[in-house]
Amino acid sequence: METALHILLFILSIIIIIIVGMQGAKSEDASSAIMGGNSESKLFAESKDRGIDLFLTRATIAASVAFFVIVIATWVIK
């Protein structure tokens, strides 16, 4: 059982890496905001995801929650 959970954790970690890599940058002005860019930076502006961005955001959340639930389950089994 524990081995199956470890394999599932490995698969989920690869899935999370792929999903996060597919996501676009949330803010194009992040580097200028960190380096003291202009005051019109929209770093903290609200934006709504649509289409594939919404799917990738939800998939990331679901995969991350599943990952941590399995980590806790592995810990409880030991």
Domain count, the chain: 1
- pLDDT classification of 25: cutoffs 50, 70, 90: confident
Whole-number percent of the chain with pLDDT over 90: 56
How far apart CA 1 and CA 56 sit, in angstroms, is: 30
CB-based burial of residue 23 (10 Å sphere; 0-12 exposed, 13-18 middle, 19+ buried)?
Answer: middle
The string of pLDDT tens digits covering residues 36-71 is: 555 555 555 556 678 899 999 999 999 999 999 999
- Whether pTM exceeds 0.75: no
49 lies in which domain range? 2-77
Q: Fill in the amino acid letter for 12.
A: L
How far apart CA 62 and CA 58 sit, in angstroms, is: 6
Higher pLDDT among residues 29 and 54, named by residue: 54
> What's the rounded mean pLDDT across residues 23-42?
61
Q: What is the pLDDT of residue 31?
A: 59
